[in-house]
Amino acid sequence: MSALDIWTEKYRPKRLNDVYGQVGIIKRLKSFVKAKSMPHLLFAGPAGTGKTTCALAIARELYSDEWGHNFMELNASDMRGIDVVRGRIKNFARTMPFGGLSFKLILLDEADALTRDAQHALRRTMEKYASTCRFILDCNYSSKIIDPIQSRCAVFRFKPLNEPVVTELLRDVSRKEGLKITENALKILYEVSRGDLRKSLNLLQATSSITKVINESLIHEVASYAKPEEMNKVIKLALNNEFDKSKDLVMNLMIKYGLSGVDAIKQLHSQVIRMDLPRELKVSLIDRIGEYEFRMIEGADEFLQMDALIAQICYLGNK
């Protein structure tokens, strides 16, 4: 499969004006491009919200046809150690740029994966070669970036894209690819992706390989995502003290849709939030769900923990 066959690349915006959502951030970045001057940047936020796209768009607009010679992208999760900072990054940073600008650009994707030693080495590199190079650090969690680096950067916090932005793009892509997609399917795509545009595009492409007519049921099947009313029923059965029925239903759903325990528990959480329940009961349910998600993430048996969670919901329903 070529790069253009991947929709996330095929429809990736090339200019800042075309980046979806993040209006305030784009406005500030455009001012840097217009001035042809910028500080080091730190992009923080969830996956699929436009961080890497913005960095690439900045490079294209600053350097035009010469952008490939003045821009280097590294994935810090693959190259986490101090040797990378002292080797490839330092060698690129200290060479003069092509064209009229006085600096090059280095994008460190997933910078929160860098070790602390590598980050301390990077701090000195950012300072020493500031006259010939600017860094864009891209991460999901800015708290994992050491304070000395954060203080050297202008920090931009990306938010999950809202539903109108994502659904409008998905409609546009569907039209260009000759797909027929229902409004309910668009809603489910957004619900599954939680504002992650890359994930929603990948799901749409995977579904389109089966049929050109896309509905809600097909999205559930491809995304391994149970229907909300099914998870709603699990909770209601448990609250009504129907432990066996609730337990069997959630296990069947996990097998039917290929859900992991964490996936299932996140969907239960979404349904509890939406349900019309007494405030005290809803708070208690969310507290228990959070506890059992933590246990699963820490490595506890997901089926055993799911049984225990259903038992807790039954207990709270009786109480």
**Top-level class of domain 163-223:** mainly alpha
Angle formed at CA 21 by CA 19 and CA 24, multiple of 5 degrees: 95
How does DSSP assign 12-40, residue by residue?
Answer: --SSGGG--S-HHHHHHHHHHHHHT---E
Percent composition of the chain: helix, strand, coil (DSSP 3-state, to 5): 65, 10, 25
Task: Look up residue 160 and give its two tokens.
Answer: 């999950």
Q: Which helix (DSSP H) or strand (DSSP E) does residue 109 occupy?
A: strand 104-109
Between 3.40.190.10, 3.90.1170.40, 1.20.272.10, 3.40.50.300, what CATH number should domain 228-318 receive?
1.20.272.10
Q: Is 45 helix (H, G, I), strand (E, B) or coil?
A: coil
Fold of 3-157: Rossmann fold (3.40.50)
Q: Is 136 helix (H, G, I), strand (E, B) or coil?
A: strand
Greatest extent of the chain over all pairs of C-alpha atoms, in Å: 73
Q: Is 9 helix (H, G, I), strand (E, B) or coil?
A: helix
How would you label 73-87 residue by residue, b for 16+ Cβ within 10 Å and e otherwise?
Answer: ebebeebbebebbee
DSSP 209: T
Distance CA 143, CA 194 (A): 22
Taking Cα atoms as reference points, which of 144, 190, 148 lies closest to residue 167? 190
Q: Is 286 helix (H, G, I), strand (E, B) or coil?
A: helix
What's the chain's Rg over C-alpha atoms?
A: 23
The edge-to-edge listing of strands for the beta sheet with 153-157 is: 71-75, 104-109, 133-139, 40-44, 153-157
Instruction: List, for residues 96-116, the tens digit of each pLDDT value.
Output: 777 778 899 989 888 888 888
Is the separation of the CB atoms in 82 and 115 below 8 Å? yes
Distance CA 190, CA 177 (A): 19
Taking Cα atoms as reference points, which of 55, 128, 138 lies closest to residue 94? 128
pLDDT tens over the chain, length 319 residues:
344 478 888 889 899 999 888 889 999 999 999 999 999 999 999 999 999 999 999 999 998 888 888 898 887 666 555 666 666 777 787 777 777 788 999 898 888 888 888 888 888 888 888 888 899 999 999 899 999 999 999 999 999 999 999 999 999 999 999 999 999 999 989 988 888 999 999 999 999 988 899 988 888 888 888 888 899 999 999 999 999 999 999 999 998 888 889 989 999 998 999 899 999 999 999 999 999 999 999 999 999 999 999 999 999 988 7
Domain ranges of the chain: 3-157, 163-223, 228-318
Distance CA 157, CA 155 (A): 7
pTM, full prediction: 0.80
Q: Is 167 helix (H, G, I), strand (E, B) or coil?
A: helix
- What pLDDT, on the 0 to 100 scale, is given for residue 256? 85
Instruction: List, for residues 67-80, the tens digit of each pLDDT value.
Output: 888 898 887 666 55
Give residue 162's Cα distance to chain centre. 13
